[in-house]
Amino acid sequence: MLFNLKKQTTKKDNHAEGKIFAVQSGLVIPITEVNDDVFAQKMLGDGVAIRPESGIIVSPVNGRIINIADTFHAYGLQTEDGLEILVHIGIDTVDLNGKGFRNHVRIDEKVTVGTPLCTVDLSLLKQNGYDTDIIVLVTGPTECDDPLIIHTGVTAKAQQTCIMEYHRKK
């Protein structure tokens, strides 16, 4: 098992420590390898992508739903300590207008790690030429004292494998 760590950090008494778990089982790749310049250049935040093995997408954190795209291809979550996370399913999948996506949550709903967010028909995406990488971003990395610790190059298990760690500013 190979881990790419951006920076090792230690626990500090005045910091909240947080973990972000895999939204799906599959290979975790660096965000810079995603086939979309906006994500790859970290314009929306820093994170990873997962090459999914199945179509059930789960919450990577304990927190609440703060945004759901009308087409169910993207979800905004806020952790219990206030960090905002974006889960974006596929590349350019907004163009499907929700076809192939089934939502399981609502805005302001409290979720825990592993709560199903949606189900996506990965074969439909592939048949229509869409990249199925699932992007998981911290949209406000400047809200963290230290750089994110990002784990890539591993085959993650949904809701079990930690893919990112952070120290939240207090």
Report helix, strand or coil for 150: strand
167 is an active site residue: no
Sheet of 16-21: strand order equals 16-21, 162-168, 149-150
Beta-bridge partners for 26? 52, 156
Gap between the Cα atoms of 32 and 105, Å rounded: 29
- What number of residues does the chain have? 170
Q: Which of 15, 73, 88, 167 is catalytic?
A: 88
Identify the sign of the CA torsion 39, 44, 50, 55.
negative
Kindly list the catalytic residues.
Answer: 88
